[in-house]
Amino acid sequence: MKKYSLLVITLIGWFTAFSQDKKTQVGIKSGLNLAILSASINSESSYKPGFHIGMYVKTPGGFRPEVYFSSQGQKDNYVSPPNFVSTGKTTTTLNYLNIPLLMEMGKKVTFQVGPQIGFLLSAKEVGTISNQSVNSDLKEFTKSPDFSLVFGAGINATEKINFGARLNFGLSDVFNNVQSAPGVDFPAIKNRVFHFYAGVSF
């Protein structure tokens, strides 16, 4: 966390500088994530609900940078062949500080697209496998930063209130140090997040 302190201070200063321009809106946003990973190993995966909260800037030229905390990951139901009987269930939680740099087009109805970089804050898997409790810190097995492409649409309900939905399509492998067994090709595992938000401008 300490290594991100300078980044957070810099971003706060950046957003403060933006707020001095009366034509630029600075706001806060929050909402729901439905997150999953692009692949799983020895498990059936499902979406994990999470939340996000942060700040955004809307400039007259359509530039919309943001910074926000985002809880992601997925739920896993571990199965054992050949009958694929469930041997346990866990939830993997990946917490990021995400910084999307978006272009927003439109006035009432908007469309958003752009790159995003995410800095991993924590990574844990919690649950039960084979009747054994699991509470694992996955930080040493995960990579940071995480790069994504963002696609979305929004509605400016009023001059100050906006809503939207996005897909954060991860491009980076989430995990590292995965050792392949002979004849086994482990898949790349990337973030996939459906992101629903409400924002209020100052």
pLDDT digit string, tens, across residues 4-57:
666 666 666 666 656 556 688 999 999 999 999 998 877 889 999 999 999 999
pTM for the full predicted model: 0.86
Tell me, what's the pLDDT at 6? 61
Provide the token pair at 122.
């924590």
Partnered with residue 183 across adjacent β-strands are none
For 76-123, the pLDDT digits (tens) are 998 877 777 888 999 999 999 999 999 999 999 999 999 999 999 999
73, 95, 102, 140, 154 from 193: Cα distances, Å:
9, 12, 16, 22, 16
> Rounded distance, CA 118 to CA 70, Å?
9
CB of 138 closer than 8 Å to CB of 92: yes
Q: Is the dihedral of CA 184, 188, 194, 197 positive or negative?
A: positive
